[in-house]
Amino acid sequence: MTRRIFTVLMVIMLVMCYNFVLATANINSVPISVSVNNQFITAEKETFTYNGVAYAPLRTIADSMGAESVEWNPHNKSAKIMWEGKEIMVTTDSYIILVNGNVRSYSYPAMLHKERLCMPIGITVDLMGGQCNWESATLHMQIYKKGVTPPDNLLYSRGYVEEDVIWLSKIINAESEGESLEGKIAVGNVVLNRVKDEAYPNTIYGVIFDMEHGIQFEPVENGSVYRDPNYDSILAAKLALEGESVVGESLFFCNPVTSKNSWILNNRPLYSMIGNHAFFL
């Protein structure tokens, strides 16, 4: 009997380890915007998805929603949240959360990511009596809770608005269909570099639809810029807006094989090739 119990325990441990390996393998860093009552908070650099579910540091979300305290216990890798007379206990790698000692079971676990205890944003919001809404077009989690104001130290000034994400993702999608994520980010970089350059309009929308010297982007002419972008194009737009750059100060790009614009090829210095696109300064 003892041997059978030992075997069962070993199987359980192996399953748990296997599930944890799967969990870590399916984590993808994604710059998800998080706002609380329409104020953006500093979660964007630390968010990720696990099997399509948005995660953020537990402390960041809890503090932004008015937690009285969040205590980390390094010995059992758990956190205790005190909020409105409730004690919420969260343990790393567990699907179980205790609220005043009562068990709540969820489909996704808390997990350590970059040395921070992270939770599905929706679960944290639910535990603290709020509601949330997911905007897939801009990778934005909107949190609402009456009477809550995020503390100043958690406020985040993004430097861009939702319309910027929408239009940048649309032009990326139209210009880089079939390209890698890096190639999509590169297209976004060119648009943003033009926004900063005095020779071009100072908004993303203005750059895309700039016609001072003729139509700048073919998707504006053929109408493909108005199509709904895919997920990778939205992700590339967010990464570019958050500062990821892969083509330096490039202001131009084209496909050298199919391009009808020989002026770029003959007059601008080549910076790099990514996929089918050449990028020029």
What is the predicted pLDDT for the residue at 8?
A: 36
In angstroms, the CA 124 to CA 122 distance is 6
Strand pairing partners for 89? 80, 98
Domain with CATH 3.30.457.10 in the chain: 28-154
pLDDT number for residue 15? 37
| Closest residue by Cα to residue 190 from 61, 112, 279 | 279
Taking 50 as the pLDDT cut, the residues of the chain under it are 1, 3-25
DSSP state of 153: G
**pLDDT value of position 115:** 86
Give 239: exposed, middle or buried? Use CB within 10 Å, 0-12, 13-18, 19+: buried
Class of domain 28-154: alpha beta
pLDDT tens digit string along 67-78? Answer: 999 999 999 899
How far apart (Å, rounded) are the C-alpha atoms in residues 182 and 220? 22
Superfamily of domain 162-280: Cell wall hydrolase SleB, domain 1 (1.10.10.2520)
Q: Note the pLDDT of residue 28.
A: 82
pLDDT of res. 27: 78
In this prediction, residue 259 carries a pLDDT of 73
State the span(s) of the chain assigned CATH 1.10.10.2520: 162-280
Q: What is the pTM of this model?
A: 0.83
